[in-house]
């Protein structure tokens, strides 16, 4: 696993924790939830891109 992939994975896990914490609130902020989900998806896409094209890590 490359250093960049490792950091992306850590960031994805952090976003996941923040998303779950927001969803557990009595009145969750729906805009924040949508933003966190989009960020998580973006990170996941970047991880998938790194898995398919490891040489592309310098382009990100």
What's the pLDDT at 52? Answer: 86
Q: Mean pLDDT in runs of 10 for the chain (60 residues)?
A: 92 98 97 98 95 66
Say how far apart CA 30 and CA 52 lie, in whole Å: 33
Convert the pLDDT of each residue in 29-44 to its tens digit.
Answer: 999 999 999 999 999 9
Per-residue exposure over 6-29, b if at least 16 CB sit within 10 Å of its own CB, e if not: eebeebbeebeeebeeeeeeeeee
The whole-model pTM stands at 0.82
């Amino acid at each position: 696993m490359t250093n960049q992939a490792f950091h992306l994975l850590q960031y994805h896990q952090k976003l996941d924790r923040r998303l779950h914490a927001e969803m557990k609130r009595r009145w969750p902020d729906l805009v924040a939830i949508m933003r966190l989900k989009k960020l998580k998806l973006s990170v996941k896409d970047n991880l998938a891109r790194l898995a398919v094209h490891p040489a592309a890590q310098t382009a990100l």
